[in-house]
Chains A and B, each alone.
Chain A
Amino acid sequence: MELSEYVQRGFQTLADPGSFDSNAFALLLRAAFQSLLDARADEAALDHPGLKHIDPVVLKHCHAAAATYILEAGKHRVDKSTLSTYLEDCKFDQDRIEIFCTEYQNNKNSLETLLGSIGRALPHVTDVSWRLEYQIKTNQLHKMYRPGYLVTLNVENSDSQSHPEIIFSCSMEQLQDLVGKLKDASKSLERATQL
């Protein structure tokens, strides 16, 4: 894990009891996690009275450093010992290391979910609806007398918020073919997960 000098300096300041007393440290840490994970968190996360006495520039620096480190740690899925080692190197005392690790452990799942959801993917199928009809006649052909299906696939695009639909018609045989192939795929999936 490579961290820039900016981040390292910010972290060292955070470790220093002279710049951040225990209360301020805990507050800043919580603010860092909150601003990353809570979608509703607003800019005022750092506006807590317990942090008022600290120079805003320093506050922002340390907040950015903490947030950057948290993201890197989450990305690489670091374990507790790696975490502790790095914090020791930055001269954090044992209490602060404990607080950091606990906070990290509590938020680990949300963090990993968030990071996992970032990225490009193909349009994702979320649902299917179908309509069964019995075709009787058209102006070109009478006495048709056969069932037909209209299938709609609901699709979500990861980058845009659009929800396009894919609509197609098919006969009974074609639907059987489609279902057969989807069943093959799900059976393969089952077998693969059992290996």
Chain B
Amino acid sequence: MLLDLSEEHKEHLAFLPQVDSAVVAEFGRIAVEFLRRGSNPKIYEGAARKLNVSSDTIQHGVEGLTYLLTESSKLMISELDFQDSVFVLGFPEELNRLLLQLYLDNRKEIRTILNELTPRLPSYHSLEWRLDVQLASRSLRQQIKPAVTLKLHLDQNGDHSTHLLQTDPATLLHLVQQLEQALEEMKTSHCRRVVRSIK
């Protein structure tokens, strides 16, 4: 699958062959940093002064590179497809190799970042548990009532929530049994077949 690059995008990237490889590598580093932390326009100004071009040109160059990397990572295109997509830009061989290296080096991390944009439900973070035995209450003395207290930690979009829950020994065993069945399900032939056929 080849990347479809718009004219505007190609224009922005046209800046890259005009600077040497070290600068392009630096742009690549900035691009990934911006994906991690958000963009910082001051960087553009510094670079613009050093290279003696407008900060807009720098910005477009970096953004063009960012888009190239994120699109390639999102689609998980092969090395060959990436090379062919970049080939149409008519860049020198050395630059193409540099861009491919940037893609391969950063692909995994970019995909992890993109993963955080998916529709999210609260997700499991961790579980703490405690064993208690109730000995008495205001309404009944001399009890022996075992209970398991659970603290469930969930994450949602960076917000952490905790749920304090309790359960009895019988239900605990039931929970373990049910969830073990859930895990086993992935190993069944049906699921294996589905996983094999969707590629």
Contact = CB atoms under 8 A, between A and B. Distances in A.
Given A168-B123, A176-B183, A125 B137 contact: no
Interface size class of A (residues with CB under 8 A): 35 or more
A138 B120 CA distance: 11
B183 A118 contact: no
A140 B139 contact: no
Main SS at interface, chain A: mixed
A112 to B, nearest CB: 6
B114 A140 contact: yes
A175 B183 contact: yes
A5 B74 CA distance: 81
Nearest to A191: B131
Interface string A147-171: 1011101010000000000111110
Given A168-B123, A168-B124, A177-B126, A182 B172 contact: yes
B124 A178 contact: yes
A112 B148 contact: no
A130 B178 contact: yes
Nearest to A122: B166
A186 interface: yes
B143 A116 contact: yes
Contacts of A116: 137, 139-140, 143, 145
22 contacts: A75-B141, A116-B143, A118-B139, A119-B138, A130-B178, A138-B117, A140-B118, A141-B111, A142-B76, A144-B115, A175-B179, A175-B182, A175-B183, A179-B183, A181-B127, A181-B129, A182-B176, A185-B148, A185-B172, A188-B131, A189-B131, A189-B148
Given A145-B195, A189-B146, 11 more contacts: A122-B164, A123-B165, A123-B166, A124-B166, A125-B167, A141-B117, A141-B118, A181-B127, A182-B127, A182-B129, A186-B176
